[in-house]
């Protein structure tokens, strides 16, 4: 688990929507975790899926490679590279790779859903860590805005 909130500095991911590899060896990798959101890279292998799930956080997924099928609250939607899908907190969702290549995406959770150091090579590894409580969002990423402001983690002056 990360030791504390991120520093107040830029995090830059150049060409993330156009230059992600069409092959990746990891099912899930957390790229960045902030006080109110988290960026995660995911690769769904051919014939794979992310699992039928419901989160208590909002999620926006941007697909950068491959094709698949999204099922959100019982409604199906074909998805492909270049598409954005938003899943509100408390909504059932599933994403299935229906194509001949990996389905690659990055997702933004708000607030964080995973430990900031998370790297899962497979879906099965991710499921096991989640079931065993080893992949939990840090406490500091779940705090109310007012508490973060009171403790000086967020200053409207932008000076730290």
Evaluate whether 29 touches 41 at the Cβ level (below 8 Å): yes
Give the Cα separation of 13 and 29 in Å (integer).
14
Residue 140 in 3-state DSSP?
A: helix
Return the pLDDT at 30: 95
115 CB burial (10 A radius; 0-12, 13-18, 19+): buried
What is the residue-level pLDDT of the chain in tens, covering all 160 positions?
457 899 999 999 888 777 666 556 799 999 999 999 999 999 999 999 999 999 999 999 999 999 999 999 999 999 999 999 999 999 999 999 999 999 999 999 999 999 999 999 999 999 999 999 999 999 999 999 999 999 999 998 988 8
């Amino acid at each position: 688990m990360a030791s504390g909130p991120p520093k107040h500095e830029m995090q830059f991911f150049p060409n993330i929507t156009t230059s992600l590899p069409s092959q990746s060896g990891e099912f899930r990798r957390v790229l960045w975790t902030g006080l109110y959101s988290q960026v995660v890279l995911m690769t769904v292998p051919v014939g794979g899926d992310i699992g039928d799930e419901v989160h208590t956080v909002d999620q926006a997924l941007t697909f950068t490679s491959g094709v698949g099928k999204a099922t959100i609250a019982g409604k199906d939607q074909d998805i492909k590279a270049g598409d954005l899908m938003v899943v509100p907190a408390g909504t059932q969702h599933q994403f299935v790779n229906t194509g001949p290549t990996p389905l690659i995406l990055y997702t933004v959770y708000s607030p964080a859903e995973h430990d900031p150091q998370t790297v899962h090579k497979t879906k099965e590894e991710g499921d096991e860590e989640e079931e065993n409580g080893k992949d939990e969002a840090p406490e500091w990423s779940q705090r109310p805005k007012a508490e973060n402001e009171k403790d000086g983690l967020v200053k409207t002056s932008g000076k730290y």
